[in-house]
Every structure is written in structure tokens, then in C-alpha cells.
Structure 1
Amino acid sequence: MALTADEDWTVSVDGCLEPTALPPAAALTAVWQAVKDLEFGDQQRAAVRMLFGTGATETVEAALDGGALDFPVTLPAGRIVIRVRRGDGRTARQRHAARYQPVQEPPRGRNPGLWVVMDSATCEPVREKGHVLRWGIESSAWSWIGRELARSDYQGKAGHARRAP
């Protein structure tokens, strides 16, 4: 998978750097700043410096097998893992799940405010057969999201709900 200029990398280091999404060169710099003062052995220090401390992204880019690199390092206090992921570091399923969010409509008349599921891809409530899906309780909206994720897992694609034409 070739690197795109607008694609961030998400980097983290166990106990030193929380997952952070940055442009590739800045991401590697953040890793190097987080680990450069740790007590590495000479060989590990050379490897970590080569991958993360030179400012060049080509070596890490080549090592991003399937969009992910886990680089374990042994320290006197224990083992840590340096992680680099393409994009936001989430799986396709996590990204699909984040697309949907239950939202309560404002009350109208005797209606206390029904729940709809907003689709961030369309900025509209989800629809089936042209009708907005509404539920009386929030847990039902979450249940729809769960079924949608299961359906997309089964079908191998991201979603079936469509906007009305």
C-alpha cells in the first residue's frame, strides 16, 4: 500500500506515548522524542535511531506490512512496543461503527423525543425504504448499530443503510 501525502500515521509507545495521529515525519519524530532517553542496549538504540530518529520515513514505510508495524524493545525495566499504524489506527469495523451515533430528536407535542441514528457519512439520519428509522429508547438505536455492524461483517462490506433518493 503506497503512502499518500494526506494520510497520517498513528504512533504509540507503551507507557511513553499515547496513540497520536500525525503526518508521517512528525509521527516518527514524536516516537523518537518519547524513546530517545530510554536505556536501550547499543544494538537496539541503533535500530530505533535508524527507524525513528533520522527523520526519514522510507524505512518505516517499507516495514508497514498491512499498514501496521509493531517494534518490540527490551529495556532493563521490561519490554515495550513501539506501534505505527497507517491512518487513524482503527480497524475497518471500528471506523464503520464510529460512523453511527444515536441522537435524540427534540420533543414534539406528546412525543418525548424519539431516537434516530445519525450517519456521519451523509450527515442525515439513517433510512430504510425511504423512511427515517426512529426508536422510543436509546438502547434500541444502539441495537440497530450492532445489527448493522454484524450485517456488514457478514456481507464483507461497510453498511447497507442508504439515503433516500
Structure 2
Amino acid sequence: MELTVNGEKRQVDVVPEMPLLWVLRDELGITGPKYGCGVAQCGACTVHVNGAAVRSCQALIGDLAGAEIVTIEGLGAQSLHAVQQAWIEHQVPQCGYCQAGQIMQAAALLDANATPSDDDIDAIMAGNLCRCGTYVRIRAAIHAAADKMAEK
């Protein structure tokens, strides 16, 4: 099966029932998406599939033939994405485990809604858990990224 991962055509030969997360990590060596819960409840494995934020632990590779997949490694491949820069400026990460998923979810949010309210952010980001509790900084970073993106 062929798919595009971070702008590169990739060929994988796996069973169609294999979750995308394991294809990325075990078959392609892309380790940004993390295994957290395995049931799409924590968001640590979030990637973009055809532009939408998707929990890769529950997305079956057999359903993704020809898909465009972007992981945290591909989001800021040329230069830091505005969300990544805001994460640094607002010192969001602590342990860092959830950060790739948080950033990917936030980037998808800003692609769909360039000026999200606090309620919009809270609703969309609610499925991404942070054990360190940096939610206030996450919200501030998303607002900062939205402002930066609006300047361009």
C-alpha cells in the first residue's frame, strides 16, 4: 500500500487491520506520535490525515490507501510552525510526552478556525490529555499562534 508521510511517498506491506500508529513507529521509524492509551482517548498519537487531526492508534492502515499523513516531524520540516514556536515561547512542555499530539491537534484547530475563542480551544483540545496540567499555557500558546498566523 502506498501513502504519503510528511511529503514523501512511502510503501508499506502490512495487514490492513494494523493501526497507523504502529505503521508509523514500527514500520517507518517515525516516533513523534506516541502510544498513550490505545483507545483514542488521550491524543498522544494525533497526526493529520488529509488535513484532519486523527488518533493514529485507532486509524486502520487499510482505510488509508493514498492518504496524506503529516506527523509532528513533518509539521515544521522547513521551519517551525507557528504553533511549535508558540509552544516554545510559552514554555508549554514539561514532561513532553503529550506535546506532539497537542501541537498536531492545535494546528488542525487553527487550520479550521483562525480565531478560536477560549471555549473553542477547550472543546477541541479536551481530547488531548496532559498529565502535567499545562492547559493554561496550551490555550495561551494557541492564541499566540493564531495571532502570528493572522499577521502573515
Calculate the TM-score normalised by the size of structure 2: 0.24
* Bigger Rg, which one: 1
Greater relative contact order (CA < 8 Å, ≥ 6 in sequence): 2
Which has more helix, going by share of residues? 2
